[in-house]
Copies of this chain bind each other. A is one copy, B any other.
Amino acid sequence: MLGNFEYCNPTRLYFGKGALDNLQGELKKYGENILLVYGGGSIKKNGIYDKIIEILNAAGKNVFEVGGVMPNPTVEKLYEGCKAARDNKTDLILAVGGGSVCDYSKAVSVSAHCEADPWEKYYLKMEDVDNQIIPVGCVLTMVGTGSEMNGGAVITNHETKLKIGHVFGENVFPKFAVLNPEYTYTLPKYQMVAGIYDIMNHITEQYFSGTDDNTSDYLAEGLLKSLIHSSRIAVKDPENYEARSNIMWTATWALNTLIAKGKSTDWMVHMIGQAVGAYTDATHGMTLSAVSMAYYRYIMQYGMEKFRRFAINVWDVSPDGKTGEQIAAEGLDRMESYMKELGLAMHLRDIGVTEDMIDGIADATLSMSGGYKELSRDEIIQILRKSM
């Protein structure tokens, strides 16, 4: 049953081949000091950096830069961004990159004017924002996190081996996002499929919970079917605009609050995956894929009816002459085949996890209660071992 909730998502999205043409109009809404945030420098190779600098210059903006944002943005990098944002009296943070760059920019936006230590305030204590927030705009070059239309901002502390996401409120959502599917063409296949699985897992994290009949679950099934269809095309033909555009749009709607409305959500794969990420610095989507099958095969018994529905509605499993459990298991088998077809990491050992890390990863995993089973530390260890 649909529970009580509030829905408002104010982010303005510009989608399509000419989407960057709208940046000029957006820039007029903000002051003259722009902090340009980006990652490892691929935007300098593919020409996007030059295009954006040209638009910023034409708009008469003062441009300051924080480059080198890493795939799992660190707390030290956060402090660096905060100083740059403050020192340059930043009016707008322009994030150009994927989910890490967007997440990082949002973390800077709430932290730059925060008098307390932002890691402690927003990540360890999960406090609300009560200081000035610098507006953020995004130009997306990588797809997966949905960070362009939500308040999520994951930061990693390697010293304490903690990778934590704070989901901020809508006043922290990007004010606008430019989504041109062509910008994702040059991404290496490994990153592309990791992003695709991140999308899929965002949807299943919200889908596998509850026993009520909920419109959100039907929307989730629609998004999953679109994603499966388009991702199979995109891995073979990365410059297929139709497929890449559908994946980009699905990513946004997979995690912009819509499909969680009126229901509980799981998020345990992300909790385990984030702990793996804190230990290995592995690509986020691969930390999710590596633990997913062991997790879902374990949890299936506690949410059988939903796994049965998943098999039929998402993976086209024929229910004729089969028990609910057989149907559900067949659905997960098809999901596993699909994941292998995409080339996802299916084992933790493949992404740098060693036996000696397992206890630590289990300790660093936050146990959530919204899914079909709240996991004990022993169960998390069992899932990690099965995922090795």
Residues of chain A having any CB pair with chain B under 8 Å: 1-19, 22, 181, 212-215, 218-223, 225-226, 229-230, 241-243, 245-246, 248-250, 253, 261-262
Contacts and interface: CB of A to CB of B under 8 A. Distances in A.
Number of copies of this chain in the oligomer? 2
Contacts of A12: 6-8
A8 B174 CA distance: 12
B223 A218 contact: yes
A326 to B, nearest CB: 20
B15 A7 contact: yes
B1 A213 contact: no
B225 A213 contact: no
A213 B246 contact: yes
A242 B2 contact: yes
Contact of A226 (B14, B22, B218, B253): B218
A11 B223 CA distance: 23
Contact of A10 (B10, B14, B229, B248): B10
B1 A241 contact: yes
A72 to B, nearest CB: 29
Contact of A222 (B7, B8, B221, B245): B221
A3 B181 CA distance: 11
Indicate the member of A5, A222, A229 with the most B CB atoms within 10 Å: A222
10 contacts: A2-B245, A2-B248, A4-B16, A5-B16, A6-B14, A6-B22, A7-B13, A8-B10, A213-B243, A215-B253
Nearest to A181: B2
A132 to B, nearest CB: 21
A305 to B, nearest CB: 15
A11 B7 CA distance: 8
A12 B22 CA distance: 25
A15 B5 contact: yes
A19 B13 CA distance: 28
A299 to B, nearest CB: 23
A2 B221 contact: no
A249 B16 contact: no
A8 B13 contact: yes
